[in-house]
Amino acid sequence: MTSSQGSPPSSPEPGAGLGRRERMVLAALAALLAVLLFWLRGGVHPAAPLERLARQSLDLTVALSNGRPTLVEFYADWCEACRSMAPAMEQIEQRHRGALDVVLLNVDNPRWQPELDRYQVNGIPQLELFNARGQSVGRSIGARSPAELEALAHALVKEEPLPQLVGVGPTSPLEQDPETSAAAAPVAVAPRSHG
């Protein structure tokens, strides 16, 4: 015979007032919140603006043929100037989304070697600027301030002349005489040299 009067009251176990179904729902909600928090914080390694832009960039051939002007940045993950420009580049991409394509190509990725050769990339960051018809209208070499990047983007979107900035100029498709161009050709410099 058991008596309830002689034994001390027992403390309830955590979750004892909840049924199995309620505990499963709470566990699922906790897991969902943990995954959401993990995703919002950038996963294992928070993505830097350079990484985010590079991942969401259009393919260059698509960007050059979709009727929008294009700003292409040749960059490297280890390039301090590229990383310092990244937040401004991200803002430009967001501000001009739908009117301007921003494409990032990593010079360390062998996939982009034909583009490195085609656009004669010998230092980074290098910006290639294209009008809405996919025609090259200029190049910018070296780090750019947010205001300079915005001025370049604005000129591309409005189809205006490029701003007069040091290191920015039009590109020329002029053919050179093969004999004189071989003698005057600069020594090839690797993209990683910042040369």
Q: What's the longest Cα–Cα distance across the chain?
A: 114
From the list 124, 134, 135, the residue with the least C-alpha distance to 172 is: 135
Q: How far is CA 119 from the centre of its chain?
A: 20
Catalytic residue (one of 54, 63, 79, 153): 79
Q: Is 59 a catalytic residue?
A: no
Tally DSSP H helices, then E strands, for the chain: 7, 5
Q: Is 195 a catalytic residue?
A: no
CB burial of 123-137 (b: ≥16 within 10 Å; e: otherwise) equals bbbbbbbbbbebebb
**Token pair of 112, please?**
């982009």
**Token pair of 184, please?**
């005057």
Catalytic residue (one of 50, 82, 104, 105): 82
**Token pair of 9, please?**
């009251």
Task: Give the catalytic positions in this structure.
Answer: 79, 82
